[in-house]
Structure 1
């Protein structure tokens, strides 16, 4: 499914994720767990991939002294996010095409990477994990299947793509990116929703 169709779907759905109408606890405990792996480093940056318009993750990131940058394929999501928190640096772009301009101490991709077509998912994950500083941490959610899978679902109204590399594929990608998995959890069991916390290892000899 082309990224333009995902963008159109989330333009139409954006207001479902406004701060006053969305569950404020969604993903918060998981993000605090991920952030706990970080050492404090003033002036470091965080990147929110598929940031949407909800700002609930901004406070815990700022508590760790992080400046925040966000990217989303939906123009409406970016516009609403800019209104909600003007201090965040925002990009309206497809994460698959966008190139990071800096290294990040923390990256979150909560319920977003799974909308990337399966063929593009591994390259995107390698790019994002490659943008982590040494010791940097990334949290992301995925479909907790044993094998790769890709399908289209219209449960929210517009059709959107969902894909996953499967847990073996995710773990292999993490290792290939020079990172280690610090935490993997089926946090909504029996739903096949997992979140992973990964940390970039120092380059040998650096």
Structure 2
């Protein structure tokens, strides 16, 4: 049984508490987060796109002194983030059509971007490029190869998709972004595939 991409939002609404309980807070992502912020400075504005409950990614950025805006399409996930950080900038929006009317020094979509279909991902990269300052950084978790697979959120199957590495490089270039890092199934990040780029 394959997952339906149109079910993703409802799955996160139902599974928000379970997801948050199971989500590792050990910051196995720290090495990539440090690479991502190497050219940024405290006070710079980072967009956490698909921020979920804000823990641990947004939490790390806030602790490091960055100005963070968290965006997610799940009200249940955002409610958990708002309970933890009532003064945070948490916004309900869908990464497929978000328009924030501002630009950021960095955009991260960790464990969120890969829920979009391949065509939606291409559109989202265009939208993210518009929301980045020149010189701004982008980091995404993607798949190691082109195709569609199913993952799990709580007890439910959820849709994942990916372009090929070359497909991402081409799409980034078409939107004024340069690929600066790509590592498939990094063993230090629980086998996540990580892509990093800079806006030229």
Question: Aligned residue for 1:149?
Answer: 147
Distance 1:125 1:81 in 2: 25
Distance 2:30 2:163 in 1: 24
Structure 1, unaligned runs of 5 or more: 202-206
Q: Runs of 4 or more off by more than 4 Å in structure 1?
A: 153-156
Q: Give the number of the structure with larger relative contact order, counting CA–CA contacts within 8 Å between residues 6 or more apart.
A: 2
Q: Over aligned residue pairs, what C-alpha RMSD do you find? A: 2.5
Cα deviations by residue, 1:25-53 (Å, 9 ceiling, x for unpaired): 23222111111132x374x3211011011
**How do residues 91-102 of structure 1 correspond to structure 2 at under 5 angstroms?**
91-102=91-102
| Comparing 21-30 and 84-93, the one that deviates more | 21-30
Give the structure-2-normalised TM-score. Answer: 0.86
Distance 2:106 2:182 in 1: 17
Give the structure-1-normalised TM-score. Answer: 0.83
Query: SS at 2:86's partner residue?
Result: coil
How far apart are residue 59 of structure 1 and its match?
Answer: 4.6
How far apart are residue 194 of structure 1 and its match?
Answer: 1.2
Cα deviations by residue, 1:119-174 (Å, 9 ceiling, x for unpaired): 211011121122110111111110011xx312344574223111001211111111
Question: Aligned residue for 1:113?
Answer: 113
Aligned mate of 2:163, from 162, 165, 181:
165
Distance 2:76 2:181 in 1: 33
Aligned mate of 1:12, from 2, 14, 33:
14
Indicate if the aligned counterparts of 2:51 and 2:57 stay in contact, CA closer than 8 A: no
Structure 2, unaligned runs of 5 or more: none
Change (3 A) 1:69 1:54: closer
Change (3 A) 1:130 1:21: closer
Distance 2:68 2:121 in 1: 23
Change (3 A) 1:180 1:78: same
**How do residues 1-206 of structure 1 correspond to structure 2 at under 5 angstroms?**
1-3=4-6, 5-18=7-20, 22-38=24-40, 40=41, 42=43, 44-62=44-62, 65-145=65-145, 148-154=146-152, 156-186=154-184, 187-188=186-187, 193-201=192-200
Indicate if the aligned counterparts of 2:48 and 2:58 stay in contact, CA closer than 8 A: no
How far apart are residue 185 of structure 1 and its match?
Answer: 1.5
